[in-house]
Amino acid sequence: QSALTQPASVSGSPGQSITISCTGTNSDVGGFGYVSWYQQHPGKAPKLMIYDVTNRPSGVSNRFSGSKSGSTASLTISGLQAEDEADYYCTSFTSTSIYVFGTGTKVTVL
Partner 1 sequence: QVQLQESGPGLVKPSETLSLTCTVSGASISSYYWNWIRQPPGKGLEWIGYIYNSGSTKYNPSLKSRVTISIDTSKNQFSLKLSSVTAADTAVYYCATLTTSLSFDIWGPGTMVTVS
- Tell me how long the chain is: 110
Alpha-helix runs per DSSP H in the chain: none
Residue 104 sits in the site that holds partner 1 (CB under 8 A): yes
Vertex 38: Cα angle to 80 and 45 (nearest 5): 110
Shortest Cβ 100–partner 1 spacing (Å): 7
Of 3, 21, 63, 85, which lies in the binding site for partner 1, with binding defined by CB under 8 A? 3
In the beta sheet, which residues pair with residue 102?
4
| Among 1, 20, 104, CA closest to 68 | 20
Q: Is 83 helix (H, G, I), strand (E, B) or coil?
A: helix
- Of 47 and 63, nearer to partner 1 (C-beta) is 47
Task: For residue 93, state whether it binds partner 1 (rule: CB under 8 A).
Answer: yes
- Residues of this chain, 40-79, that bind partner 1 according to CB under 8 A: 45-48, 51-52, 55, 57
Applying CB under 8 A, among 23, 36, 65, 74 the residue interacting with partner 1 is 36
- Cβ atoms of 109 and 14 within 8 Å: the answer is yes
> What is the smallest separation between the CB atom of 81 and partner 1, expressed in angstroms?
23
Which residues in this chain contact partner 1 in the complex, by CB under 8 A? Answer: 1, 3, 34, 36, 38, 45-48, 51-52, 55, 57, 89, 91, 93, 97-104
